[in-house]
Amino acid sequence: MIPETAPKEDVYVASAKFSKNALVPSFEKYKEMYMKSIENPDEFWGDIAKDFFWKSKHSGDFLSYNFDVTKGEIFVKFMEGATTNICYNLLDRNVHEKNLGNKVAFYWEGNEPGDELTVTYRELLQKVCQFANVLKSQGVKKGDRVSIYMPMAVELVVAMLACVRIGAVHSIVFAGFSAESLCERIMDSECSLLITADGFYRGDKLINLKLLADDALQKCKDKGFTVRKCIMLKHLSKEIEEGSQSPPAKRSCPDLQQEGQTGRVKKRRPVPQLPWNPEVDLCWHTLVKGASDECEPEWCDSEDPLFILYTSGSTGKPKGVLHTVSGYMLYAATTFKLVFDYQPDDVYWCTADIGWITGHSYITYGPLANGATSVLFEGLPTYPDVGRMWEIVDKYHVTKFYTAPTAIRLLMKYGTEPVQKHKRDSLKVLGTVGEPINPEAWQWYYNVVGEKRCPIVDTFWQTETGGHVLTPLPAATPMKPGSATFPFFGVVPAVLNESGEELEGPSEGYLVFKQPWPGIMRTVYGNQQRFETTYFKKFPGYYVTGDGCRRDKDGYYWITGRIDDMLNVSGHLLSTAEVESALVEHEFVAEAAVVGRPHPVKGESLYCFVTLTEGVSFCRTLEVELRNLVREKIGAIATPDYIQNAPGLPKTRSGKIMRRVLRKIANGERELGDISTLADSSVVEQLFQNRSCTA
Ligand code: PRX
């Protein structure tokens, strides 16, 4: 439970000046609100809901649920029967009721410094309505799934909100995923339409998105699934017109040749050749040109599906996490507001990609629900130089800044000079997400970036939780570097031992949650069974996060990392099984086992052991082929760091691979603990000898 009083020793606190005007100004206030949120959730969330627009009120229970698999199906229902539309709440409500039409919704900053766009709430509403009409004209209806595979362009937000406006369910696939991964996600969610872009640059590297999208659609077709239409945004159009070395391909997007569409990417660069299939492909710009900018929203039930977002699963097959309308909206909005202590004159910047849950909740839904102004950044923290982040902070006078520990560690490597070259005096709150932040990185973030002035909110949450679940509130919670501190409103954590008993006081074990909060996922799309097995079966009555945690004497929660077969590489979850199945697709690989190895920037890196088929010998060419294979099957984020030849793997007599032993070998640690259950312990020595020469 939350302590009576906040600890005073070994903690960092916000200044009195900051706390004075904060939304939750003290620990006492946090505690009071927290107690209300768990004892009387109806009233707590009911009060928050009053600020939103409801077409009709809810009927029946405000919140009903079952978390206990022994008592029947797992479900969570929040404000069932109420009808609303999130797009209406994010845009129309802000433009028409709150008079924020002229307020900037996004400052878009491209990969290349100087590429920029400003979009107000009114403009965003118009663009979304137009595109919603486009989707309707293409036959997209309420409940239909639409796949989105786009760079960080304003149109990505437009596409997602256009879906929401007409009640369609978006499934955004991070543009760093491979064609194969896109195909898998399109097929699992049975999307009828794909929205993509011609391409984009990540630093100097061209990502030819349309080619990847085409490849994915072909793969779907080969597997018997047809996507009706593919809408392509001309994101690099300017370059295509001006920079193309060769004439446009014969079968290229018709509009690229006809109009002088203003692209926003100014720098001239080589451009992709765009294949064009007139039966499937449609040009975003042509479609939008004739579309009306008025579109009545589709009124949806609170528990109608809102979006699907895939996250790695320990079986190797990604899970389509499904979120629904009202609970997610209120939770994303409230966490954003209170965790970042949102003030109307803030300029907020979350550096995540919208293709991940952080971007969904804290670039699109949370900030727009509050009428906030955000920076939407397409580029990289190190391009064109390592001062880019701070340059942008100064350019837009960013007040609230949210990034990942991996980005902080990366920038730390370059020292303080690139940071101190920029003023950063607008910054007020700093946030982190995605993985545990090591105290050294925390201190650097606090001392160097925030100059000891800015509280740090270390937000623990998951794709499944929809929003922050353990987090400090900047003015209220004394901070301990590396701890996500206490639960957000409505969240009741517990620490369990292996037998499922709740541990009291200082303890370490499984992090679970005892009751739902509005933003929790509702199911795995198309697979309720998997939802129940993954999150509720191990400890009936609890939502199991899959993370280990420690609670200290002051009641602070410290995440100790995943306790399932998942790896966290640069804040992105990957399943070992997913990478292993990619590796064994190579004809020369008989078996593969993948473990995590600590990495100074990425947090964890992928260390792969491969057993080759009889007669094949390990060589550099094979290593390169395997790396490329994993990139092709999953995407660049899953590129193995180490690949080691493993003539044998350490297995128990029943054939189970002892990953604990492999982790030690990967790390070069000779202290292996008890290995008496190994069927053949001689493989261990051999593996030490074969350790990847780069390891
Ligand atoms: O292991 C935890 C880690 O990231 C996992 C969730 O990953 P994903 O669903 O991709 O969502 C990432 C963005 C919310 C968690 O199970 N994680 C996330 N935030 C933290 C964290 N670990 C420690 N501290 C955090 N602040």
Question: Of 357, 573, 602, which is best to mutate to test ligand 1, by the most ligand atoms within 8 angstroms of its C-beta?
Answer: 573
Question: Of 335, 433, 560, which is best to mutate to test ligand 1, by the most ligand atoms within 8 angstroms of its C-beta?
Answer: 433
Same domain, yes or no: 199 and 183: yes
User: Is pTM, for the whole model, over 0.85?
Assistant: yes
User: In ligand 1, which atom is closest to the CA atom of 463?
Assistant: 9
What pLDDT is attached to residue 652? 83
Q: 359: CA distance to ligand 1 center in Å?
A: 13
What pLDDT is attached to residue 201? 95
To the nearest whole percent, how much of the chain has pLDDT over 90?
Answer: 85
Q: 434: CA distance to ligand 1 center in Å?
A: 4
Q: Whose CA is nearest to atom 4 of ligand 1?
A: 434
User: In ligand 1, which atom is closest to the CA atom of 484?
Assistant: 26
What pLDDT is attached to residue 59? 86
| Per-residue confidence band for 386, with pLDDT thresholds at 50, 70 and 90 | very high
pLDDT in tens, 419-429: 999 999 999 99
Asked, for residue 433, whether it belongs to a domain, the answer is no
Asked, for residue 9, whether it belongs to a domain, the answer is yes
Q: 680: CA distance to ligand 1 center in Å?
A: 36
Report the pocket of ligand 1 as residue ranges, CB < 6 Å: 311, 357-358, 433-436, 458-463, 484, 545-547, 559, 562, 568, 572-573
- Domain stop point among 267, 286, 305: 305
SS (H, E, C) 658-681: CHHHHHHHHHCCCCCCCCCCECCC
Q: 436: CA distance to ligand 1 center in Å?
A: 8
- Domain stop point among 541, 564, 587: 564
In 3-state terms, what secondary structure has residue 464?
helix
Distance CA 32, CA 16 (A): 20
Domain that holds residue 185: 137-305
Same domain, yes or no: 554 and 573: no
Distance CA 31, CA 19 (A): 16
The token duo for 116 is 């920029």
User: In ligand 1, which atom is closest to the CA atom of 356?
Assistant: 10
Residue tagged 């996500």 (tokens): 484
User: In ligand 1, which atom is closest to the CA atom of 566?
Assistant: 1
Asked, for residue 311, whether it belongs to a domain, the answer is no
Distance CA 244, CA 248 (A): 8
Question: CA distances (Å), 446 to each of 6, 186, 425, 485, 571, in order?
Answer: 20, 41, 13, 16, 20
- CATH, residue 617: 3.30.300.30
Asked, for residue 349, whether it belongs to a domain, the answer is no
User: In ligand 1, which atom is closest to the CA atom of 470?
Assistant: 26
Q: 545: CA distance to ligand 1 center in Å?
A: 10
Q: 424: CA distance to ligand 1 center in Å?
A: 27
Strand partners for 282: 231
Distance CA 549, CA 106 (A): 37
What pLDDT is attached to residue 547? 95
Q: Whose CA is nearest to atom 2 of ligand 1?
A: 435
- CATH, residue 492: 2.30.38.10
Asked, for residue 355, whether it belongs to a domain, the answer is no
| Per-residue confidence band for 249, with pLDDT thresholds at 50, 70 and 90 | very low
Q: Whose CA is nearest to atom 12 of ligand 1?
A: 434
Residue tagged 């294979």 (tokens): 629
Helical spans, DSSP H, in 202-314: 209-222, 237-243, 254-258, 284-289
Residue 448 near residue 413, CB atoms below 8 Å: no
Q: Whose CA is nearest to atom 3 of ligand 1?
A: 435
Q: Whose CA is nearest to atom 11 of ligand 1?
A: 462
pLDDT surpassing 80 at residue 684 = yes
Give the closest residue to 479 by CA, choosing from 13, 18, 164. 13
Q: 171: CA distance to ligand 1 center in Å?
A: 20
Asked, for residue 474, whether it belongs to a domain, the answer is no
| Per-residue confidence band for 270, with pLDDT thresholds at 50, 70 and 90 | low
| Per-residue confidence band for 237, with pLDDT thresholds at 50, 70 and 90 | low
Same domain, yes or no: 148 and 238: yes
Which of 26-30, 146-150, 445-449, 566-570 is predicted least confidently? 566-570
Q: For residue 654, how many other CB atoms are within 10 A of its CB?
A: 7
Q: 460: CA distance to ligand 1 center in Å?
A: 6
- CATH, residue 223: 3.40.50.280
pLDDT in tens, 318-335: 999 999 999 999 999 999
Which of 361-370, 576-585, 632-641, 654-663 is predicted least confidently? 654-663
Same domain, yes or no: 556 and 575: no
What pLDDT is attached to residue 679? 84
Q: 260: CA distance to ligand 1 center in Å?
A: 44
Q: 404: CA distance to ligand 1 center in Å?
A: 10
Residue 484 near residue 471, CB atoms below 8 Å: yes
- Domain stop point among 272, 305, 338: 305
Same domain, yes or no: 586 and 676: yes
Q: 438: CA distance to ligand 1 center in Å?
A: 14
Same domain, yes or no: 508 and 485: yes
In 3-state terms, what secondary structure has residue 223?
coil
Phi first, then psi: give them for residue 52, nearest 5 degrees.
-105, 165
Residue 169 near residue 142, CB atoms below 8 Å: no
Q: Whose CA is nearest to atom 25 of ligand 1?
A: 460
Q: 456: CA distance to ligand 1 center in Å?
A: 16
Give the closest residue to 55 by CA, choosing from 333, 307, 371, 301. 301
Asked, for residue 331, whether it belongs to a domain, the answer is no
Q: 589: CA distance to ligand 1 center in Å?
A: 32
Nearby residues of 36 by Cβ (< 8 Å), 6 or more positions away: 43, 44
Asked if omega into 384 is within 30° of 0 (cis), the reply is: yes
Question: Of 172, 363, 461, which is best to mutate to test ligand 1, by the most ligand atoms within 8 angstroms of its C-beta?
Answer: 461
Q: DSSP readout, 345-376?
A: T-EEEE-S-TTSHHHIIIIIIHHHHTT-EEEE
Residue 625 near residue 632, CB atoms below 8 Å: no
pLDDT in tens, 542-578: 999 999 999 999 999 999 988 888 889 999 989 898 8
In 3-state terms, what secondary structure has residue 487?
strand
Nearby residues of 533 by Cβ (< 8 Å), 6 or more positions away: none
Burial letters 507-542, b for 16+ CB under 10 A, else e? eebbbbbebbbbbbbbbbbebeebbeebbbebbebb
The token duo for 570 is 């640069």
Q: Say how many domains are in the chain.
A: 3
What pLDDT is attached to residue 694? 55
Same domain, yes or no: 636 and 663: yes
Nearby residues of 464 by Cβ (< 8 Å), 6 or more positions away: 311, 321, 520, 521, 535
Q: For residue 27, how many other CB atoms are within 10 A of its CB?
A: 21
Same domain, yes or no: 79 and 199: no
Same domain, yes or no: 624 and 575: yes
Same domain, yes or no: 159 and 276: yes
Same domain, yes or no: 179 and 66: no
Residue tagged 């991070």 (tokens): 174
User: In ligand 1, which atom is closest to the CA atom of 561?
Assistant: 1
pLDDT in tens, 288-312: 998 999 999 999 999 999 999 999 8
Asked, for residue 313, whether it belongs to a domain, the answer is no
DSSP state of 582: H
Q: 465: CA distance to ligand 1 center in Å?
A: 10
Question: CA distances (Å), 196 to each of 265, 395, 420, 611, 633, in order?
Answer: 17, 29, 38, 39, 19
User: In ligand 1, which atom is closest to the CA atom of 545?
Assistant: 16
Strand partners for 120: 104
Q: Whose CA is nearest to atom 7 of ligand 1?
A: 462
Question: Of 351, 435, 459, 520, which is best to mutate to test ligand 1, by the most ligand atoms within 8 angstroms of its C-beta?
Answer: 435
pLDDT in tens, 522-544: 999 999 999 999 999 999 999 99
Same domain, yes or no: 154 and 277: yes
User: In ligand 1, which atom is closest to the CA atom of 546?
Assistant: 16
Phi first, then psi: give them for residue 399, nearest 5 degrees.
-105, -35
Q: 461: CA distance to ligand 1 center in Å?
A: 5
Phi first, then psi: give them for residue 391, nearest 5 degrees.
-65, -45
What average pLDDT does range 621-649 have in this prediction?
Answer: 95
Q: 483: CA distance to ligand 1 center in Å?
A: 13
